[in-house]
């Protein structure tokens, strides 16, 4: 009866599932991205006689102007101006921040990742000029530092280019295998299920009764000794089970980008209830975005307290369906076999709702479950085929290793000729031992195999020379600006439950609109290896209150360069996190009017490009000021001054009643009668409420 109710609930949930929204068109701030677009029809500029203000000498361009006199850049600007003729400009008051769509300019193809130097060369800029441009965005980089795709795209947009990332040679070789499959070629595959939970709560015993084997009896302390994969054939379908030594191996696979588990079965003992490792398992499953089915085991014991277990689960947002929750919960006993058939039926039902499909016709792609060295047979690996079909004598690359499949065995030790999606197999013929979680790709011929392997080995050498950049409190703001992170993830460990709740409650009250703030795990006890691995795969901060990392955790933290902060006073913890979050807040912008100048003449000079000869009508024009260009009472451009001259001299400011020559960064479509309005842009730091 419970299974029927669950079926109905799942089907109802699928029907009510909201339609996934398409991503909206990307819009960037004009001030942030430096996008320049002329709003009015331009007139042909004639070169008049030079006035006294610049007659003695042509205005020299400063060391790092954005617009040069090169023909390519001038042509690009002219093209941009011509494009702008097609639509009239809306009226925009000077104080309002302008937003623009990224322009559809010339396409610039780049290999990614791209360094500051390489991007500057492709944009025909000096590296120092590009670094200055990035500094104005609060992004501080060196000439050889790599830029994120988002930052590189915005920089290219500023200079009139639409960025297209060219796949590297490895991606080109593997593209045929990674292309999206035709929906018509897809067929249903078996689900991949992982059992997780606290030690001795019965994970292996449940697997044992499901597989009808006797593995559990020979294991030490109830902890699985090796990662295995087992396929169970049922009347209504097949299920592949991963037998992992806890959630650490599950997360280790995710570290390599392997998201192979479709469903997690969380095993909770009815007598012990929810334990610390149970909470860790829940957080690891949620971090991976995998649906959870709860199996309450040992219901045959006299000490079993089902209501207590369900209350504990409800506090962790896993309220059972019979308690008006959304979590599928089943009562089982590995000892008597009670509820096991119902559990398998629920797994298949959940798999039906997920509509798991694969292409059986293409070359195989999959994941390494485990690898080991046999003294007689050499390197061995257990693989799980995700897509395509793996066949005898296939060539494949896996991480830094490669293989020709000499022999293939199923989970019962039987030789097989081919393995379909969802099937676990053990293979011989490896050049070395790949890591668990590494993906493998079947390659067409040996030449491509050697080329991909060489490319990967070269990448690995470069990777070792550049340490992985982890999130830290010190550079949080810079990483947000570069697009390196979109949310701040935190793991909290404390000595007692009271302290843990106090820290968690205080942190969740800190609201920041610009970045998602998330506590992905909170627990009692020392910072352990599980915490370190979760932080590693999710790029999270670890905060400890009255606790320290244990020895194994210290090794992982040091090896992976993970940020860990420990505190003894809760005020210091909150203060430090608050300060870091305030660094994420975009400051309030206040514009202070400095002065205005009118364009009297426009000149096209050989070395300095196009220059506006101006007369300061009010206040003063400062070299460091931000300018708004007003034409016919409409602001058509906002930007910075690249050159400010008085006769042949560079000056810092020009007072009212004097003439000057002005060049702007990123704009040179000046017209007689244009008004330059100078502002001092003041940034006021925002505070959390």
333 in the same domain as 406:
no
CA gap 295, 309 in Å, rounded: 11
Q: What 3-state DSSP class applies to 373?
A: strand
What was the pLDDT predicted at 477? 55
- 249 and 194 share one domain: yes
The 3-state secondary structure of 149-172, one letter per residue: HHHHHHHHHHCCEEEEEECCHHHH
Same domain, 428 and 486: no
The pLDDT of residue 19: 43
Cβ contacts of 339 within 8 Å, gap of 6 or more: 295, 299, 330, 331, 332, 333
With b meaning 16 or more CB within 10 Å and e meaning fewer, what string describes 490-512? bbbbbeeeebbebbbeebeebeb
Res 427: pLDDT: 92
Question: Is 237 inside any structural domain?
Answer: yes
Contacts of 206-214 spanning 24+ positions with Cβ under 8 A: 206/265, 206/267, 206/295, 206/297, 206/332, 206/334, 206/340, 206/343, 207/241, 207/243, 208/334, 209/334, 209/337, 209/340, 210/241, 210/340, 210/344, 211/241
Alpha helices in 84-162 (DSSP H): 116-122, 127-136, 149-158
Quick one: pLDDT at residue 83? 42
Q: State the CB neighbour count (10 A cutoff) for residue 50.
A: 15
Position 635 scores a pLDDT of: 83
Residue 239 near residue 255 (C-beta atoms within 8 A): no
pLDDT of residue 488: 76
Decide which of 526, 544, 562 is a domain's last residue: 562
* Residue spans of alpha helices (H) in 139-291: 149-158, 169-178, 203-211, 247-255, 276-288
Considering the domain boundaries, does residue 328 fall inside one? yes
The predicted-structure confidence for 535-547, as pLDDT tens digits, reads as follows 888 888 899 988 8
pLDDT, mean of residues 479-499:
71
Q: Quick one: tokens of 683?
A: 């940034």
Same domain, 401 and 313: no
Name which of 446, 450, 438 is nearest 382 in CA terms: 438
* Residue 650 forms part of a structural domain: no
Q: For residue 522, count other CB atoms closer than 10 A to its CB.
A: 19
What CATH number is given to the structural domain containing 411?
A: 2.40.30.10
Q: For Cα atoms 657, 658, 660, give the angle at the middle one, nearest 5 degrees.
A: 145
Identify which of 224, 230, 292, 289 has the alpha carbon closest to the alpha carbon of residue 259. Answer: 289
Residue 328 pLDDT exceeds 80: yes
Two structure tokens written together for 142: 């060196």
Residues 202 and 327 in one domain: yes
Query: Is 309 inside a domain boundary?
Result: yes
Q: Is the pLDDT of residue 350 over 90?
A: yes
CA pair distance 661, 647, nearest whole angstrom: 8
Residue 228 sits in the same domain as residue 350: yes
DSSP string, 468-494: -----STTHHHHHHTTS-SEEEEEEEE
Domain span at residue 411?
387-443
**Would 289 be classed as within a structural domain?**
yes
Q: For the domain that residue 508 is a member of, what is the CATH number?
A: 3.40.50.10050
Strands 228-234, 237-243: pairing is antiparallel
Between CA 612 and CA 605 the distance in angstroms is 11
272 Cβ neighbours under 8 A, 6+ residues apart: 198, 201
In a domain, 677, yes or no: no
Choose among 405, 442, 409: nearest CA to 425: 409
228 pLDDT tier (thresholds 50, 70, 90): confident
Query: Residues 17-36: what's their mean pLDDT?
Result: 38
What span, in angstroms and rounded, lies between the C-alpha atoms of 13 and 333? 28
List CB contacts of 46: < 8 A, sequence separation 6 or more. Answer: none
Asked if 594 and 678 touch (Cβ cutoff 8 Å), the reply is: yes
CA 510 to chain centre: 23
Per-residue pLDDT tens for 43-90? 444 444 434 433 343 433 333 333 333 433 334 444 444 444 444 433
Mean pLDDT of 611-632: 91
239 and 293 both lie in a single domain:
yes
pLDDT of residue 62: 39
Determine, yes or no, domain membership for 302. yes
Rounded CA gap, 402 and 524, in Å? 43
**513: confidence class by pLDDT, cuts 50, 70, 90:** low
63 belongs to a structural domain: no
Q: Please tell me which residue, 98 or 336, carries the higher pLDDT value.
A: 336
Contact 492, 521 (CB under 8 A): yes
Same domain? 299 vs 346: yes
* Same domain as 229, residue 323: yes
Phi, psi (degrees; rounded to nearest 5) at 310: -70, -35
Whole-angstrom distance, CA of residue 465 vs CA of residue 467: 6
* Distance from C-alpha of 445 to C-alpha of 136, rounded to nearest angstrom: 50
Name the residue among 475, 466, 463 with its Cα closest to residue 541.
475
The pLDDT tens digits for 244-289 are 555 555 665 655 445 788 999 999 999 889 988 888 888 888 888 8
List, in order, residues 6 or more apart from 342 with CB less than 8 Å away. Answer: 2, 3, 330, 332
The two most distant CA atoms of the chain are separated, in Å, by 103
pLDDT value of residue 218: 40
| Orientation of helix 276-288 relative to helix 529-538, angle to 10° | 10
**pLDDT for position 166:** 67
Count of CB atoms situated within 10 Å of the CB of 233:
8
Q: What's the rounded mean pLDDT across residues 558-585?
A: 77
Query: How buried is residue 461: exposed, middle or buried, by Cβ count under 10 Å (0-12/13-18/19+)?
Result: exposed
| Closest by CA position to 625, among listed 639, 635, 613 | 639
* 472 CB-contact burial (10 Å; exposed 0-12 / middle 13-18 / buried 19+): middle
Axis-axis angle for helices 247-255, 529-538 (nearest 10)? 30
Regarding whether 199 and 330 lie in a shared domain, the answer is yes
Q: Which of 251, 287, 243 is nearest to 267 (CA)?
A: 243
Query: Would you say 104 and 92 are in contact if contact means Cβ atoms under 8 Å apart?
Result: no
Query: pTM of the entire structure?
Result: 0.53
Render pLDDT for 393-441 as a digit per residue (tens, 0 to 9): 999 988 888 899 999 998 888 899 999 999 999 999 998 888 878 889 8
CATH code, domain carrying 273: 3.40.50.300
Quick one: which of 640, 525, 511, 495 has its CA closest to 129? Answer: 640
| Closest alpha carbon to 299 in 326, 347, 337 | 337
Residue 239 confidence (pLDDT):
92
Domain end, chosen from 544, 562, 580, is at 562
- The angle subtended at Cα 437 by Cα 434 and Cα 442, nearest 5°, is 65
Q: Which distant-in-sequence residues (6+ apart) come within 8 Å of 480 by Cβ?
A: 486, 514, 515, 584
Check residues 448 and 338 and name the one with the higher pLDDT.
338
Rounded to whole angstroms, the Cα distance separating 603 from 611 reads 5
Mean predicted lDDT score pLDDT of the chain: 75
* Band of residue 220 on the pLDDT scale cut at 50, 70, 90: very low
| Residue 191 near residue 350 (C-beta atoms within 8 A) | yes
Percentage of the chain exceeding pLDDT 70: 70
Kindly state the average pLDDT of the residues 577-588: 63
Question: In this structure, what token pair is assigned to residue 317?
Answer: 């947002």
Q: What is the pLDDT of residue 44?
A: 40
pLDDT in the model for residue 678:
92
Helix/strand/coil for 209: helix
Residue entry with tokens 């006294």:
52
287, 534 contact by CB (below 8 A):
yes
Q: Out of 97-106, 108-117, 497-506, which region has the weakest mean confidence (pLDDT)?
A: 97-106
Q: Is the pLDDT of residue 486 over 80?
A: no
For residues 344-349, average pLDDT: 93
Does 211 lie in the same domain as 336? Answer: yes
Q: 404 and 530 in one domain? A: no
- Read off the pLDDT of residues 153-202 as tens digits, 9 standing for 90 and up: 888 888 888 887 766 666 666 766 667 778 888 999 999 998 888 877 87
Higher pLDDT: 390 or 38? It is: 390
Report the domain count for the chain.
3
DSSP 629: E
């Amino acid at each position: 009866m419970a299974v029927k109710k669950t079926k109905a609930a799942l089907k109802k949930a699928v029907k009510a599932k909201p339609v996934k929204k398409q991503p909206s068109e990307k819009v960037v701030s004009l001030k942030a991205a430096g996008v320049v677009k002329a709003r009015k029809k331009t007139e042909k500029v004639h070169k008049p006689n030079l006035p006294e203000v610049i007659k003695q000498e042509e205005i020299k361009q400063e060391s790092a102007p954005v617009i040069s006199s090169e023909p390519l850049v001038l042509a690009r600007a002219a093209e941009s101006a011509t494009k702008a003729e097609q639509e009239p400009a809306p009226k925009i008051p000077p104080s309002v921040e302008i937003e623009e769509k990224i322009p559809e300019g010339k396409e610039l193809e780049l290999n990614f990742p791209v360094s500051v130097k390489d991007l500057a060369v492709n944009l025909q800029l000096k590296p120092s000029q590009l670094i200055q441009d990035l500094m104005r965005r609060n992004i501080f980089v060196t000439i050889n530092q790599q830029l994120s795709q988002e930052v590189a795209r915005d920089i290219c947009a500023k200079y009139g280019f639409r960025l297209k990332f060219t796949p590297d040679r490895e991606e080109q070789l593997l593209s045929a295998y990674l292309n999206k499959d035709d929906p018509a070629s897809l067929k249903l595959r078996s689900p991949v299920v992982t059992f997780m939970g606290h030690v001795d709560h019965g994970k292996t015993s449940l697997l044992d009764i499901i597989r009808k084997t006797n593995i559990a009896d020979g294991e030490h302390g109830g902890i699985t000794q090796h990662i295995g994969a087992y396929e169970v054939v049922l009347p209504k379908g097949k299920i592949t089970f991963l037998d992992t030594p806890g959630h650490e191996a599950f997360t280790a696979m995710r570290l390599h980008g392997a998201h192979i588990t479709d469903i997690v079965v969380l095993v909770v003992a009815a007598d012990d209830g929810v334990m610390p490792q149970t909470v860790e398992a829940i957080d690891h499953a949620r971090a991976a975005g995998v649906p959870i089915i709860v199996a309450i085991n040992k219901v045959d014991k006299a000490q079993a307290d089902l209501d207590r277990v369900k209350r504990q689960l409800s506090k962790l947002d896993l309220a059972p369906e019979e308690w008006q929750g959304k979590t599928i919960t089943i009562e089982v006993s590995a000892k008597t076999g009670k509820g096991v058939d119902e559990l398998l039926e629920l797994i298949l039902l959940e798999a039906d709702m997920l509509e798991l499909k694969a292409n059986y016709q293409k070359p195989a792609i999959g994941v390494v479950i485990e690898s080991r060295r046999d003294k007689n047979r050499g390197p061995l690996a257990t693989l799980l085929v995700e897509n395509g079909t793996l066949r005898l004598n296939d060539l494949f690359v896996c991480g830094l290793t490669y293989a020709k499949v000499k022999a293939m065995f199923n989970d019962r030790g039987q030789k097989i000729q081919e393995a379909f999606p969802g099937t676990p197999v053990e293979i011989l013929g490896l050049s070395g031992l790949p890591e668990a979680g590494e993906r493998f790709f079947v390659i067409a011929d040996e030449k491509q195999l050697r080329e991909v392997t060489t490319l990967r080995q070269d990448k690995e050498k470069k990777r070792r020379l550049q340490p992985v950049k982890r999130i830290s409190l010190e550079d949080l703001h810079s990483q947000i600006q570069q697009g390196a992170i979109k949310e701040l993830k935190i793991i909290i460990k404390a000595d007692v439950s009271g302290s843990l709740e106090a820290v968690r409650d205080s942190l969740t009250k800190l609201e920041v609109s610009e970045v998602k703030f998330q506590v992905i795990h909170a627990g009692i006890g020392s910072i352990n290896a599980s915490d370190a691995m979760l932080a590693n795969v999710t790029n999270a901060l670890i905060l400890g209150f009255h606790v320290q990392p244990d020895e194994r955790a210290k090794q992982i933290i040091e090896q992976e360069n993970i940020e860990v902060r420990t505190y003894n006073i809760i005020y210091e913890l909150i203060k430090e996190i608050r300060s870091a979050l305030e660094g994420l807040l975009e400051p309030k912008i206040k514009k202070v009017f400095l002065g205005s100048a009118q364009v009297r003449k426009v000149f096209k000079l050989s070395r300095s490009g196009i220059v506006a000869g101006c007369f300061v009508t009010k206040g003063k024009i400062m070299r460091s000021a931000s300018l708004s260009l007003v034409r016919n009472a409409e602001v058509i451009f906002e930007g910075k001054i690249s050159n400010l001259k008085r006769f042949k001299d560079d000056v810092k400011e020009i007072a009212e009643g004097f003439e000057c020559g002005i060049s702007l960064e990123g704009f040179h479509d000046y017209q007689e009668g244009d008004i330059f309005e100078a502002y001092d842009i003041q940034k006021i730091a925002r505070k959390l409420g």
